[in-house]
Protein backbone atom coordinates (compact mmCIF):
# COMPACT_ATOMS: atom_id res chain seq x y z
CA UNK A 1 0.00 0.00 0.00
CA UNK A 2 2.78 2.43 0.86
CA UNK A 3 4.30 1.79 -2.54
CA UNK A 4 1.02 2.61 -4.22
CA UNK A 5 0.97 5.92 -2.39
CA UNK A 6 4.55 6.71 -3.37
CA UNK A 7 3.77 6.01 -7.00
CA UNK A 8 0.83 8.39 -6.88
CA UNK A 9 3.00 11.07 -5.31
CA UNK A 10 5.47 10.82 -8.19
CA UNK A 11 2.68 10.84 -10.74
CA UNK A 12 1.08 13.91 -9.25
CA UNK A 13 4.29 15.87 -9.42
CA UNK A 14 4.49 15.63 -13.17
CA UNK A 15 0.79 16.04 -13.90
CA UNK A 16 -0.10 18.78 -16.37
CA UNK A 17 -3.39 20.29 -17.38
CA UNK A 18 -4.20 23.50 -19.25
CA UNK A 19 -7.96 23.62 -19.50
CA UNK A 20 -10.60 23.68 -16.78
CA UNK A 21 -11.95 20.33 -18.06
CA UNK A 22 -8.56 18.64 -17.73
CA UNK A 23 -8.15 19.93 -14.19
CA UNK A 24 -11.63 18.69 -13.29
CA UNK A 25 -10.76 15.27 -14.71
CA UNK A 26 -7.76 15.04 -12.38
CA UNK A 27 -9.88 16.09 -9.44
CA UNK A 28 -12.42 13.37 -10.17
CA UNK A 29 -9.69 10.75 -10.72
CA UNK A 30 -8.34 11.35 -7.20
CA UNK A 31 -11.08 12.83 -5.10
CA UNK A 32 -14.20 11.56 -6.88
CA UNK A 33 -16.57 8.96 -5.46
CA UNK A 34 -14.84 6.17 -7.32
CA UNK A 35 -11.43 7.81 -7.21
CA UNK A 36 -8.00 6.86 -5.91
CA UNK A 37 -8.76 7.98 -2.36
CA UNK A 38 -11.89 5.90 -2.18
CA UNK A 39 -9.77 2.80 -3.04
CA UNK A 40 -7.08 3.77 -0.55
CA UNK A 41 -9.64 4.25 2.22
CA UNK A 42 -11.15 0.84 1.44
CA UNK A 43 -7.68 -0.71 1.77
CA UNK A 44 -7.04 1.34 4.91
CA UNK A 45 -10.08 -0.11 6.64
CA UNK A 46 -8.69 -3.61 6.15
CA UNK A 47 -5.40 -2.75 7.85
CA UNK A 48 -4.33 -3.96 11.23
CA UNK A 49 -4.77 -1.23 13.83
CA UNK A 50 -1.06 -0.80 14.51
CA UNK A 51 -0.37 0.02 10.86
CA UNK A 52 -3.16 2.53 10.65
CA UNK A 53 -1.41 5.67 12.10
CA UNK A 54 1.51 5.51 9.65
CA UNK A 55 -0.69 4.73 6.67
CA UNK A 56 -3.22 7.39 7.65
CA UNK A 57 -0.47 9.97 7.71
CA UNK A 58 0.75 8.90 4.24
CA UNK A 59 -2.77 9.09 2.82
CA UNK A 60 -3.23 12.61 4.26
CA UNK A 61 0.06 13.72 2.75
CA UNK A 62 -1.00 12.41 -0.62
CA UNK A 63 -4.32 14.16 -0.28
CA UNK A 64 -2.75 17.52 0.47
CA UNK A 65 -0.31 17.22 -2.39
CA UNK A 66 -3.20 16.44 -4.74
CA UNK A 67 -5.06 19.50 -3.49
CA UNK A 68 -1.95 21.68 -3.80
CA UNK A 69 -1.41 20.47 -7.32
CA UNK A 70 -4.98 21.21 -8.29
CA UNK A 71 -4.67 24.77 -6.90
CA UNK A 72 -1.46 25.32 -8.81
CA UNK A 73 -2.98 24.10 -12.04
CA UNK A 74 -6.04 26.29 -11.53
CA UNK A 75 -4.08 29.45 -10.88
CA UNK A 76 -1.75 28.97 -13.85
CA UNK A 77 -4.82 28.36 -15.97
CA UNK A 78 -6.31 31.69 -14.76
CA UNK A 79 -3.17 33.54 -15.72
CA UNK A 80 -3.04 32.07 -19.19
CA UNK A 81 -6.71 32.61 -19.91
CA UNK A 82 -6.39 36.15 -18.53
CA UNK A 83 -3.62 36.72 -21.00
CA UNK A 84 -5.72 35.65 -23.92
CA UNK A 85 -8.54 38.03 -22.87
CA UNK A 86 -6.16 40.96 -22.88
CA UNK A 87 -4.95 40.28 -26.34
CA UNK A 88 -5.96 43.26 -28.43
CA UNK A 89 -7.20 42.76 -31.93
CA UNK A 90 -5.84 45.89 -33.52
CA UNK A 91 -7.52 45.20 -36.83
CA UNK A 92 -11.00 45.27 -35.27
CA UNK A 93 -13.13 48.21 -36.53
CA UNK A 94 -13.76 50.81 -33.82
CA UNK A 95 -17.15 50.90 -32.12
CA UNK A 96 -19.44 53.82 -32.81
CA UNK A 97 -19.25 56.76 -30.41
CA UNK A 98 -22.50 58.66 -30.12
CA UNK A 99 -21.79 62.36 -30.34
CA UNK A 100 -24.04 64.69 -28.38
CA UNK A 101 -25.63 67.70 -30.01
CA UNK A 102 -25.90 71.31 -28.95
CA UNK A 103 -29.12 72.55 -27.45
CA UNK A 104 -31.26 74.51 -29.94
CA UNK A 105 -31.22 77.53 -27.61
CA UNK A 106 -27.41 77.47 -27.57
CA UNK A 107 -27.32 77.19 -31.35
CA UNK A 108 -29.63 80.19 -31.87
CA UNK A 109 -27.87 82.19 -29.17
CA UNK A 110 -24.53 81.63 -30.91
CA UNK A 111 -25.99 82.50 -34.30
CA UNK A 112 -27.28 85.83 -32.92
CA UNK A 113 -23.88 86.55 -31.33
CA UNK A 114 -22.10 85.79 -34.62
CA UNK A 115 -24.40 88.09 -36.60
CA UNK A 116 -23.88 91.04 -34.25
CA UNK A 117 -20.18 90.47 -33.75
CA UNK A 118 -19.68 90.85 -37.52
CA UNK A 119 -20.73 94.50 -37.13
CA UNK A 120 -18.61 95.19 -34.08
CA UNK A 121 -20.81 94.26 -31.12
CA UNK A 122 -19.04 92.77 -28.10
CA UNK A 123 -20.68 90.27 -25.72
CA UNK A 124 -21.31 91.29 -22.11
CA UNK A 125 -22.89 89.48 -19.20
CA UNK A 126 -24.38 90.37 -15.86
CA UNK A 127 -25.64 88.54 -12.75
CA UNK A 128 -28.92 86.62 -12.71
CA UNK A 129 -29.67 87.89 -9.21
CA UNK A 130 -30.17 91.64 -9.42
CA UNK A 131 -31.12 94.54 -7.23
CA UNK A 132 -33.99 96.92 -7.89
CA UNK A 133 -31.64 99.58 -9.24
CA UNK A 134 -30.19 97.52 -12.10
CA UNK A 135 -33.38 95.70 -13.03
CA UNK A 136 -35.84 98.62 -12.67
CA UNK A 137 -34.85 102.02 -11.26
CA UNK A 138 -31.87 102.79 -13.46
CA UNK A 139 -34.04 101.79 -16.44
CA UNK A 140 -36.56 104.51 -15.64
CA UNK A 141 -39.30 102.19 -14.30
CA UNK A 142 -41.70 104.30 -12.23
CA UNK A 143 -41.96 103.21 -8.60
CA UNK A 144 -45.49 101.92 -9.09
CA UNK A 145 -44.76 100.04 -12.33
CA UNK A 146 -46.62 96.68 -12.39
CA UNK A 147 -43.49 94.78 -13.49
CA UNK A 148 -42.13 95.28 -9.98
CA UNK A 149 -45.06 93.37 -8.57
CA UNK A 150 -44.68 90.11 -6.72
CA UNK A 151 -46.78 88.63 -9.52
CA UNK A 152 -44.14 89.16 -12.16
CA UNK A 153 -40.90 89.09 -10.26
CA UNK A 154 -39.28 86.37 -8.18
CA UNK A 155 -37.92 88.12 -5.11
CA UNK A 156 -35.40 86.32 -2.94
CA UNK A 157 -36.90 84.91 0.27
CA UNK A 158 -33.82 85.83 2.26
CA UNK A 159 -33.53 89.35 0.94
CA UNK A 160 -36.52 91.10 -0.60
CA UNK A 161 -34.21 93.79 -1.97
CA UNK A 162 -32.90 91.25 -4.47
CA UNK A 163 -34.72 89.48 -7.28
CA UNK A 164 -34.04 87.21 -10.25
CA UNK A 165 -33.64 89.56 -13.19
CA UNK A 166 -36.79 89.84 -15.29
CA UNK A 167 -34.92 90.90 -18.43
CA UNK A 168 -31.38 91.27 -19.75
CA UNK A 169 -31.89 95.06 -19.95
CA UNK A 170 -30.27 95.04 -16.49
CA UNK A 171 -26.96 94.30 -18.21
CA UNK A 172 -27.29 97.61 -20.13
CA UNK A 173 -27.03 99.36 -16.78
CA UNK A 174 -23.99 97.32 -15.71
CA UNK A 175 -22.23 98.09 -18.99
CA UNK A 176 -22.98 101.84 -18.80
CA UNK A 177 -21.65 101.88 -15.22
CA UNK A 178 -18.37 100.33 -16.23
CA UNK A 179 -17.67 101.63 -19.71
CA UNK A 180 -17.55 104.96 -21.47
CA UNK A 181 -19.16 105.50 -24.88
CA UNK A 182 -18.83 104.48 -27.62
CA UNK A 183 -20.57 101.32 -26.40
CA UNK A 184 -21.65 98.57 -28.76
CA UNK A 185 -22.60 95.36 -26.99
CA UNK A 186 -25.08 92.51 -26.83
CA UNK A 187 -25.95 90.64 -23.64
CA UNK A 188 -27.38 87.15 -23.91
CA UNK A 189 -28.66 85.49 -20.76
CA UNK A 190 -31.34 83.76 -18.71
CA UNK A 191 -34.25 85.70 -17.31
CA UNK A 192 -37.00 84.79 -14.87
CA UNK A 193 -40.66 85.70 -14.52
CA UNK A 194 -43.31 84.55 -12.17
CA UNK A 195 -45.63 83.31 -14.90
CA UNK A 196 -47.78 80.23 -15.38
CA UNK A 197 -46.01 77.74 -17.63
CA UNK A 198 -47.74 77.11 -20.97
CA UNK A 199 -46.88 76.37 -24.60
CA UNK A 200 -46.07 80.08 -25.08
CA UNK A 201 -44.70 81.17 -21.70
CA UNK A 202 -42.24 79.88 -19.14
CA UNK A 203 -40.86 81.12 -15.85
CA UNK A 204 -37.31 80.80 -17.20
CA UNK A 205 -36.33 81.88 -20.68
CA UNK A 206 -33.49 83.54 -22.57
CA UNK A 207 -33.05 86.97 -24.04
CA UNK A 208 -30.45 88.90 -25.98
CA UNK A 209 -30.17 92.57 -25.19
CA UNK A 210 -28.47 95.06 -27.50
CA UNK A 211 -27.06 98.49 -26.66
CA UNK A 212 -25.37 101.05 -28.87
CA UNK A 213 -24.29 104.44 -27.52
CA UNK A 214 -22.23 107.02 -29.35
CA UNK A 215 -22.47 110.57 -30.66
CA UNK A 216 -25.23 111.12 -33.23
CA UNK A 217 -26.85 107.70 -33.05
CA UNK A 218 -30.24 107.95 -34.72
CA UNK A 219 -33.39 105.89 -35.13
CA UNK A 220 -32.29 105.23 -38.72
CA UNK A 221 -29.18 103.47 -37.35
CA UNK A 222 -31.42 101.29 -35.18
CA UNK A 223 -33.67 100.39 -38.08
CA UNK A 224 -30.78 99.55 -40.38
CA UNK A 225 -29.09 97.36 -37.75
CA UNK A 226 -32.29 95.43 -37.13
CA UNK A 227 -32.92 94.99 -40.84
CA UNK A 228 -29.39 93.63 -41.20
CA UNK A 229 -30.02 91.21 -38.32
CA UNK A 230 -33.39 90.03 -39.67
CA UNK A 231 -31.95 89.36 -43.13
CA UNK A 232 -28.89 87.55 -41.78
CA UNK A 233 -31.02 85.38 -39.55
CA UNK A 234 -34.24 84.78 -41.49
CA UNK A 235 -33.01 85.22 -45.07
CA UNK A 236 -31.98 87.95 -47.55
CA UNK A 237 -35.49 88.81 -48.63
CA UNK A 238 -36.88 89.35 -45.13
CA UNK A 239 -38.96 92.49 -44.67
CA UNK A 240 -39.33 94.26 -41.33
CA UNK A 241 -41.65 96.89 -39.90
CA UNK A 242 -41.49 98.96 -36.72
CA UNK A 243 -44.67 99.60 -34.75
CA UNK A 244 -44.82 102.29 -32.06
CA UNK A 245 -44.79 100.83 -28.54
CA UNK A 246 -43.87 101.72 -24.99
CA UNK A 247 -40.97 100.74 -22.74
CA UNK A 248 -39.87 102.84 -19.76
CA UNK A 249 -36.22 102.78 -20.83
CA UNK A 250 -36.61 103.87 -24.47
CA UNK A 251 -38.15 106.95 -26.10
CA UNK A 252 -39.44 106.56 -28.72
CA UNK A 253 -40.07 102.81 -28.40
CA UNK A 254 -41.06 100.32 -31.04
CA UNK A 255 -41.72 96.67 -31.68
CA UNK A 256 -40.14 95.05 -34.68
CA UNK A 257 -42.09 92.60 -36.82
CA UNK A 258 -40.81 90.47 -39.67
CA UNK A 259 -42.98 89.53 -42.64
CA UNK A 260 -43.51 85.80 -42.27
CA UNK A 261 -45.99 85.30 -45.10
CA UNK A 262 -49.34 83.61 -45.38
CA UNK A 263 -48.48 80.51 -47.35
CA UNK A 264 -50.01 77.87 -45.15
CA UNK A 265 -52.71 77.38 -42.61
CA UNK A 266 -50.05 77.40 -39.90
CA UNK A 267 -48.85 80.83 -41.11
CA UNK A 268 -52.36 82.21 -40.60
CA UNK A 269 -52.38 80.78 -37.09
CA UNK A 270 -48.99 82.03 -35.90
CA UNK A 271 -49.34 85.48 -37.48
CA UNK A 272 -53.00 85.81 -36.46
CA UNK A 273 -53.91 86.29 -40.09
CA UNK A 274 -51.68 89.33 -40.66
CA UNK A 275 -48.55 87.69 -42.07
CA UNK A 276 -46.43 89.72 -39.60
CA UNK A 277 -44.68 88.37 -36.52
CA UNK A 278 -43.31 90.31 -33.59
CA UNK A 279 -39.64 89.57 -32.96
CA UNK A 280 -38.36 92.15 -30.48
CA UNK A 281 -38.74 95.40 -28.59
CA UNK A 282 -36.47 98.34 -29.30
CA UNK A 283 -36.07 102.12 -29.18
CA UNK A 284 -33.80 105.07 -28.51
CA UNK A 285 -32.30 104.94 -25.02
CA UNK A 286 -34.32 107.33 -22.84
CA UNK A 287 -32.24 110.38 -21.78
CA UNK A 288 -33.21 109.61 -18.17
CA UNK A 289 -31.50 106.23 -18.45
CA UNK A 290 -28.33 107.80 -19.84
CA UNK A 291 -28.37 110.37 -17.03
CA UNK A 292 -28.95 107.74 -14.31
CA UNK A 293 -25.87 105.95 -15.53
CA UNK A 294 -23.57 108.95 -15.76
CA UNK A 295 -23.73 109.53 -19.52
CA UNK A 296 -24.50 113.05 -20.74
CA UNK A 297 -27.61 112.90 -22.99
CA UNK A 298 -26.62 116.23 -24.55
CA UNK A 299 -23.50 114.62 -25.97
CA UNK A 300 -24.52 111.03 -26.52
CA UNK A 301 -27.50 109.15 -27.81
CA UNK A 302 -28.12 105.47 -28.33
CA UNK A 303 -30.47 102.69 -29.18
CA UNK A 304 -31.38 99.45 -27.43
CA UNK A 305 -33.24 96.32 -28.34
CA UNK A 306 -34.20 93.05 -26.70
CA UNK A 307 -35.42 89.75 -28.06
CA UNK A 308 -36.45 86.35 -26.70
CA UNK A 309 -34.24 83.48 -27.87
CA UNK A 310 -36.96 80.84 -27.43
CA UNK A 311 -39.34 82.79 -29.61
CA UNK A 312 -36.75 83.04 -32.39
CA UNK A 313 -35.80 79.37 -32.01
CA UNK A 314 -39.49 78.38 -32.24
CA UNK A 315 -39.75 80.21 -35.55
CA UNK A 316 -36.49 78.87 -36.92
CA UNK A 317 -37.23 75.25 -36.07
CA UNK A 318 -41.05 75.36 -36.22
CA UNK A 319 -41.38 74.26 -32.59
CA UNK A 320 -44.95 74.62 -31.36
CA UNK A 321 -44.43 74.24 -27.63
CA UNK A 322 -41.90 76.32 -25.71
CA UNK A 323 -41.77 73.74 -22.92
CA UNK A 324 -39.87 71.34 -25.17
CA UNK A 325 -36.75 73.48 -24.81
CA UNK A 326 -36.69 72.78 -21.08
CA UNK A 327 -37.72 69.15 -20.86
CA UNK A 328 -34.43 67.71 -22.14
CA UNK A 329 -36.09 64.88 -24.02
CA UNK A 330 -33.23 63.35 -25.98
CA UNK A 331 -35.52 62.51 -28.90
CA UNK A 332 -36.24 66.23 -29.28
CA UNK A 333 -32.70 67.46 -28.66
CA UNK A 334 -31.09 65.00 -31.08
CA UNK A 335 -32.72 66.68 -34.05
CA UNK A 336 -30.63 69.83 -33.95
CA UNK A 337 -27.27 69.86 -35.61
CA UNK A 338 -24.88 72.53 -34.50
CA UNK A 339 -24.35 73.77 -38.05
CA UNK A 340 -26.71 76.55 -39.04
N1 LIG B 1 -36.67 94.32 -21.71
C2 LIG B 1 -37.78 94.11 -22.62
C3 LIG B 1 -38.54 92.87 -22.18
O4 LIG B 1 -38.05 92.09 -21.47
C5 LIG B 1 -37.29 93.94 -24.02
C6 LIG B 1 -36.74 95.20 -24.57
C7 LIG B 1 -37.57 96.11 -25.18
C8 LIG B 1 -35.40 95.51 -24.47
C9 LIG B 1 -37.08 97.29 -25.70
C10 LIG B 1 -34.91 96.68 -24.97
C11 LIG B 1 -35.77 97.57 -25.59
O12 LIG B 1 -33.62 97.02 -24.90
O13 LIG B 1 -35.27 98.74 -26.10
O14 LIG B 1 -39.63 92.66 -22.59
Number of H helices, E strands in the chain: 13, 9
- When mean pLDDT is compared across 16-25, 121-130, 284-293, the lowest value belongs to 16-25
pLDDT, mean of residues 106-121: 97
CA 245 – CA 247 distance, rounded (Å) = 7
Angle at 181 between CA 179 and CA 186, to 5 degrees: 70
Predicted pLDDT at 84: 56
Based on the fold, state whether residues 222 and 299 are members of the same structural domain: yes
pLDDT, mean of residues 249-264: 93
- When mean pLDDT is compared across 147-156, 179-188, 278-287, the lowest value belongs to 147-156
Question: What domain range is 21 assigned to?
Answer: 2-78
Which ligand 1 atom is at minimum distance from the Cα of 209?
A: 12
Q: What's the gap in Å between 169 CA and the centre of ligand 1?
A: 6
- Among 121, 134, 206, 247, which residue has the most ligand 1 atoms within 8 Å of its CB, making it the best to mutate? 247
pLDDT, mean of residues 309-313: 94
Based on the fold, state whether residues 245 and 323 are members of the same structural domain: yes
- When mean pLDDT is compared across 29-43, 103-117, 181-195, the lowest value belongs to 29-43
C-beta atoms surrounding 208 within 10 Å = 23
pLDDT, mean of residues 213-219: 97
Which residue lies with its CA nearest to atom 12 of ligand 1?
A: 305
Based on the fold, state whether residues 190 and 274 are members of the same structural domain: yes
* 243 domain-assigned: yes
CA 34 – CA 32 distance, rounded (Å) = 5
**In the structure, what pLDDT confidence band is assigned to residue 340 with cuts at 50, 70 and 90?**
low
CB distance 209 to ligand 1 below 6 Å: yes
pLDDT over threshold 60, residue 337? yes
Q: What's the gap in Å between 285 CA and the centre of ligand 1?
A: 11
Based on the fold, state whether residues 209 and 318 are members of the same structural domain: yes
Total tally of structural domains belonging to the chain: 2
Q: What's the gap in Å between 104 CA and the centre of ligand 1?
A: 22
Based on the fold, state whether residues 48 and 108 are members of the same structural domain: no
Average pLDDT of the chain, as a whole number: 90
C-beta atoms surrounding 174 within 10 Å = 18
CA 213 – CA 140 distance, rounded (Å) = 17
Which residue lies with its CA nearest to atom 2 of ligand 1?
A: 306
Of 63, 78, 93, the position where a domain reaches its end is: 78
Q: Omega into 252 within 30° of 0, i.e. cis?
A: yes
Q: Strands (DSSP E) along the chain, which ranges?
A: 122-123, 129-131, 162-164, 183-192, 204-214, 240-247, 250-259, 276-285, 301-308
**In the structure, what pLDDT confidence band is assigned to residue 79 with cuts at 50, 70 and 90?**
low
CB distance 285 to ligand 1 below 6 Å: no
Based on the fold, state whether residues 14 and 117 are members of the same structural domain: no
**Cα dihedral 126→130→131→136 (10° resolution):** 80
pLDDT digit string, tens, across residues 152-196: 899 999 998 999 999 999 999 999 999 999 999 999 999 999 989
pLDDT over threshold 90, residue 16? no
Based on the fold, state whether residues 17 and 114 are members of the same structural domain: no
- The rounded radius of gyration (Å) of the Cα atoms in the chain is 41
Closest by alpha carbon to 170, among 144, 198, 132, 205? 132
Q: Kindly report the CATH number assigned to the domain that includes residue 252.
A: 3.30.930.10
Predicted pLDDT at 47: 86
Predicted pLDDT at 81: 57
Predicted pLDDT at 86: 67
- Among 185, 210, 306, 307, which residue has the most ligand 1 atoms within 8 Å of its CB, making it the best to mutate? 306
* 278 domain-assigned: yes
Based on the fold, state whether residues 187 and 295 are members of the same structural domain: yes
Q: Are 211 and 304 in contact (CB under 8 A)?
A: yes
**In the structure, what pLDDT confidence band is assigned to residue 80 with cuts at 50, 70 and 90?**
low
**Dihedral sign from CA coordinates of 273, 274, 275, 281:** negative
Predicted pLDDT at 21: 85
Q: Are 188 and 168 in contact (CB under 8 A)?
A: yes
- Taking the whole predicted model, whether its pTM rises above 0.95 is answered as no
Closest by alpha carbon to 225, among 109, 107, 118, 125? 118
CA 243 – CA 224 distance, rounded (Å) = 15
pLDDT digit string, tens, across residues 224-243: 999 999 999 999 999 999 99
Of 22, 43, 78, the position where a domain reaches its end is: 78
Q: Are 138 and 174 in contact (CB under 8 A)?
A: no
Helix, strand, coil percentages, rounded to 5, for the chain: 45, 20, 35
Alpha carbon 279 to chain centroid, angstroms = 27
pLDDT over threshold 80, residue 219? yes
CA 248 – CA 285 distance, rounded (Å) = 9
Amino acid sequence: MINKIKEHLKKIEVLTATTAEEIEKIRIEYLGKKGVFKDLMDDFKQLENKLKPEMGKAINELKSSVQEKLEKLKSSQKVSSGKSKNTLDLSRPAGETEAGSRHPISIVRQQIIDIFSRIGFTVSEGPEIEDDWHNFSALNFPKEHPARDMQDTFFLDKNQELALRTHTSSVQVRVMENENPPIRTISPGRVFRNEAISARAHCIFHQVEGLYIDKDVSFADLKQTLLYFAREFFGEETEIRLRPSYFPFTEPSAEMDIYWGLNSEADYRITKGTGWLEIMGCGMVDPNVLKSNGIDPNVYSGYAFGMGIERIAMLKYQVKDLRMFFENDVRFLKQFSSAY
